[in-house]
Every structure is written in C-alpha cells, then in structure tokens.
Amino acid sequence: MMRIGVVGCAGRMGQMLVREIAATAGAAVAGGTERPGSPAVGRDLGTLAGLEPLGVAAGDDAGALFRDCDAVIDFTSPVASVAHAALAAAHGTALVVGTTGLDAGQTRALEVAAAKAPIVHAPNMSLGVNLLLALVEDVARRLGDDWDIEIVEMHHRQKVDAPSGTALGLGRAAAKGRGVELGAVSDRVRDGHTGARVPGHIGFATLRGGDVVGDHTVIFAAEGERVELTHKASTRGVFARGAVRAALWAAGRPPGLYGMKDVLGL
C-alpha cells in the first residue's frame, strides 16, 4: 500500500486529491497539511473532502508528513511548494508539484531539491493537455513562420496567475517546435497602440470568469486559413487522477526532475 500525503489538503485541488487517493487501489491517504492557522487544521481529511471520515486529521507539520509518506502531492502556492521541495530533499520523499506561477528562482529551487529526491513538476497533469503539448510542438515545427501562433486560455474567477501555467507550457512547446526560446518571442499582454504584430512572435490572451476548470486553444493563423487545437477540462478530477498516477510512478525512483511526459510515457 503506497502512503500518499496531500499538502494544501483543504484547497480545491487538495480535496479532489484526497478523494482520488481514497478511490485508488494500492494507495492510502497517509495525511495532509494546511497552512498554520487554517481552520482546516485538526479536521478529518475525509470530512474536508466530502467523504466519510478517514480517521486522519489535517495537520500543519509538513516535516512530519514528508517523514511518514512514500510520496506527497502539492497543489498550493509557489512559496509553499519551494519549502515542500526542500523537505522532500531532506527526507528523500517523492514529491508531485502541480502548483503554477513559479518564477525562475522558484523553479531553480525545485531543480536543486530534485538532486536529492524524485520530483514531478507539471503545470497540467491531464493526459489530454500532455498530448496537446506534443501536437503543438509538432505542428509548429511543420508550419513556417508565416503562420502566426496565438494562445487563448480561460479559467475560473479565483485563479491568481496569468497566463496559466498550461498556456505558458503550450507556448514553450510551440517555441521549441520553431527552434526559438519563448522568452525572446512572447507577447504576454497587448494594450493600447501596440503597432502591427511582430512576425514570429507568440501571443497570449487570458480570460477569467465563472467556474471554468480550464480551456486552452492554440491558434495557427496564416493568409486564408487557420488551424486551432483546443483542450477543455470539465472536471478537476483529470488533474487529480494524473497527479496520483505521478505519485505512484515517482515513489522509489532515483532523484531527478521529471515531467508528465515521463510519467505517461509519451
């Protein structure tokens, strides 16, 4: 039985993860944490997730959780994920990080921790989006620079980072297909008198509203025709399923920074 912990267990994804682990054969909910002072601390993890009680209470001692688990899943905030990666390294515990919005320094901190523990980090854990990443790279490689690339995403009104980690990942895949660095060609915001579109650039547009789980479209636009590749997630369950699969895959692996491509064998 694989013992899996959930940091951020009272969050939208945290609750979904507890439900998914509880429903997965060969996996058990070993524990969960919330930020110190959270009203969730002390409450039963099953009750928090809308299940029958599991007999395990949410805590605020992440160190103890990493010591007790085979793998920990983290969908929290960039600052918390960096602290959790250091704990994974200290205990050699497998860690799955789904948190988005990490800056370059925070991403580097994950790489450093991955020298001592297996860490899977992916802005999107769904099978469909990981397939889309491969398709976008391939299409960008086949189509010339006269095809403009634009990426549109929509998420629920509570989302705090923009563009979404998935949209940026799709941008990186398109840039890779063209043999360029996304940072050198991305237009993340357009406002006012922007002038004409710069050839070869990759543009982003962000929509926020309602309870949209996550929609992404990559548009390849040329003179007279257009190719659009779209993924729509209708339940967070797809991310939780991918994250639990990643935790089962990562536990016991050699240290290293892995992605969903590795987990899914794409």
Beta strand extents in the chain (DSSP E only): 2-7, 27-33, 58-59, 71-74, 94-97, 118-121, 148-155, 186-187, 202-208, 214-222, 225-233, 256-258
Of the pair 101, 200, the CB lying nearest ligand NAD is at 101
Taking CB under 6 A as the criterion, which residues in 103-132 touch ligand NAD?
A: 122-125
Is 208 a binding residue for ligand NAD by CB under 6 A? The answer is no
Of the pair 124, 186, the CB lying nearest ligand NAD is at 124
| Minimum CB–partner distance for residue 122 and ligand NAD (Å) | 6
User: Within a 10 A sphere around the Cβ of 179, how many other Cβ atoms?
Assistant: 8
Of the pair 12, 201, the CB lying nearest ligand NAD is at 12
| Minimum CB–partner distance for residue 117 and ligand NAD (Å) | 18
- Alpha carbon distances (Å) from 198 to 139, 173, 187, 195, 250: 20, 19, 9, 9, 42
| Minimum CB–partner distance for residue 192 and ligand NAD (Å) | 29
Q: Which residues are catalytic?
A: 155, 159
Q: Provide DSSP, 203-245.
A: EEEEEE-TT--EEEEEEEEETTEEEEEEEEE--THHHHHHHHH
Of the pair 76, 186, the CB lying nearest ligand NAD is at 76
Taking CB under 6 A as the criterion, which residues in 61-100 touch ligand NAD?
A: 75-77, 80, 98-100
Nearest to ligand NAD by Cβ — which residue? 11
| Minimum CB–partner distance for residue 113 and ligand NAD (Å) | 15
| Minimum CB–partner distance for residue 140 and ligand NAD (Å) | 22
Taking CB under 6 A as the criterion, which residues in 32-61 touch ligand NAD?
A: 33-35, 38
| Minimum CB–partner distance for residue 84 and ligand NAD (Å) | 7
Number of residues that bind ligand NAD (CB under 6 A): 24
Peptide bond into 163 cis (omega under 30): yes
User: Do 240 and 258 meet the contact criterion of CB atoms below 8 Å apart?
Assistant: no
Tokens of 228: 């659009």
- Alpha carbon distances (Å) from 132 to 25, 163, 259: 28, 17, 14
Q: Are strands 225-233 and 27-33 parallel, antiparallel or unpaired?
A: unpaired
Is 10 a binding residue for ligand NAD by CB under 6 A? The answer is yes
Of the pair 5, 148, the CB lying nearest ligand NAD is at 5
Q: Which residue matches tokens 């054969």?
A: 25
d(CA 232, CA 202): 21
Taking CB under 6 A as the criterion, which residues in 246-265 touch ligand NAD?
A: none
User: Do 152 and 205 meet the contact criterion of CB atoms below 8 Å apart?
Assistant: yes
Task: Point out which span in 3-11, 86-94, 179-187, 189-197 binds ligand NAD (CB under 6 A).
Answer: 3-11
Binding site for ligand NAD (CB under 6 A): 7-8, 10-14, 33-35, 38, 75-77, 80, 98-101, 122-125, 239
